Structure 1
Amino acid sequence: MRTFDLQECADFLKVDRTTAMKLAQQGDIVGARIGRAWVFLEDDVVAFLREQAQKQTLERLEGRTNPDHEETDRRTHAAIQRQLQPATTRKPGRTARALPRLPDLPANTPAAQAA
């Protein structure tokens, strides 16, 4: 029987390490914390993946959608639209200040003579 550490489990599930840790802490994936390390049995990780695949496939076939996914999709779409819009240089409601006028250089300075 093969075991996975946290990174191997995350790699197997094609998720980030923090996502795998969150799933383990919530008890979604069967695993044990031995000292500082998480240890997972390969069979348990495969069973979790198979359960998720069957559950999500059934939901798609029944035409059900998760409202959380709809909210996430809406927020993602809004974020993309904001990025595509031209950036404004000032915050709305603020007026542009006039740039300060710098004094003219005296005619006898080396910088003024070079120009």
Structure 2
Amino acid sequence: MRTLDLIECAEFLKIDRTTLLDIVHRGDILGAKIGRAWVFLEDDVVAYLREQVQAQTQKRIEQIRCGSPETDARVDKAIRKQLSQTDPRRPGRKARPLPRLPELDASAAMAA
């Protein structure tokens, strides 16, 4: 069983340490303050992360199934954008026209 300090736990979750402290004070992640340091069990942090993944995934599924106007509008906009694009190139700078080269004389071409 591995333990994490406050900074390690925040890095593990890819959040700021102040955000982690807010989560701890709400009681969402179990941790203990030993002296001046916070200590977290890796298993508890992983359990919190799994709960968040399941809850957020369920929320997204419900939004799609309910057909909320906000989701429908975003999906409709994305579909229209994909269908309207005829150029397969990625957006960015427009291609420059090819330069005009001077004509070669037949005698100059033979000499070269």
TM range (shorter): 0.5 to 0.7
Kindly indicate whether structure 1 or structure 2 has the higher relative contact order, using CA contacts under 8 Å at least 6 residues apart: 2
Map of 1:3-14 to 2, 5 A cutoff? 3-14=3-14
Residue 27 of structure 1 deviates from its aligned partner by 0.7
Cα separation, 2, equivalents of 1:23 and 1:49: 12
Corresponding position of 2:74: none
Corresponding position of 2:43: 43
Map of 1:31-70 to 2, 5 A cutoff? 31-63=31-63
- Deviations along 1:57-89, whole A, 9 cap, x unmatched? 00000008xxxxx9xxxxxxxxxxxxxxxxxxx
Cα separation, 1, equivalents of 2:31 and 2:20: 10
5+ residue gaps, structure 1:
65-69, 71-115
TM-score of the superposition, structure 1-length normalised?
0.54
Cα separation, 1, equivalents of 2:52 and 2:25: 17
Residue 5 of structure 1 deviates from its aligned partner by 0.3
Counterpart of 2:48 in 1: which secondary structure? helix
Residue 52 of structure 1 deviates from its aligned partner by 0.3
Counterpart of 2:43 in 1: which secondary structure? helix
Q: Percent identity?
A: 68
Aligned-residue Cα RMSD (Å) equals 1.5
Moved over 2 A (4+): none
Alignment: residue pair count? 65
Cα separation, 1, equivalents of 2:36 and 2:26: 17
Corresponding position of 1:30: 30
Cα separation, 1, equivalents of 2:38 and 2:25: 10
**Range 6-15 or range 18-27, more displaced:** 18-27
Residue 29 of structure 1 deviates from its aligned partner by 0.4
